[in-house]
Amino acid sequence: MLLINELTQLSQRSLLREILENSCINLQWREEDVARTKFRLGVVLRAMSRPEEAAGWRTQALNARKAWEEQLPEFNRSAEYTDEDDMKLFDDGVVLHHGRTTGIWSDGTHW
């Protein structure tokens, strides 16, 4: 089971990097979509025990979200958010076709 999890993480990391680093982002992608992808990559990298690299992507994502987080219905500036909570906030800000994974789009295991 551990090997499957590691392969899944490697695959996720590769796909997210492909989006961010190899010009897969086009005019249909908004800042919110890019920020969500960066945050998700940070989550994956932290799960792969790469905390320094993860922190850089996560910081970029959270800084980008500051521009539009006040418009999110569930946002509470004084709240402490888990990664899952943050992912829900990012999902609220992205286009449905760019990979929402929380709420009704979740498979119950992954967010």
Range of the domain at 55: 2-22+31-105
Domain count, the chain: 1
Q: Does residue 111 lie in a domain region?
A: no
**CB within 8 A of 73, min separation 6: which ones?**
92
pTM: 0.73
Q: What's the half-sphere exposure (Cβ side, CA atoms, 13 Å) at 49?
A: 1
Q: Does residue 95 lie in a domain region?
A: yes
Q: Check if the beta carbon of residue 23 is closer than 8 Å to that of residue 71.
A: no
* Residue 55 pLDDT: 96
Q: pLDDT tens track of the chain, all 111 residues?
A: 545 576 677 788 888 888 787 766 677 777 888 888 899 899 989 988 999 999 999 999 999 988 887 777 777 777 788 888 888 888 777 765 555 555 544 555 555
Q: Does residue 87 lie in a domain region?
A: yes
* Residue 42 pLDDT: 94
* Residue 28 pLDDT: 74
* Residue 71 pLDDT: 77
Q: Look-up: residue for tokens 């960066």?
A: 38
Q: Does residue 69 lie in a domain region?
A: yes
Q: Check if the beta carbon of residue 75 is closer than 8 Å to that of residue 69.
A: yes
* Residue 39 pLDDT: 92
Q: Does residue 110 lie in a domain region?
A: no
d(Cα 40, Cα 17) in Å, to the nearest integer?
10
d(Cα 14, Cα 11) in Å, to the nearest integer?
5
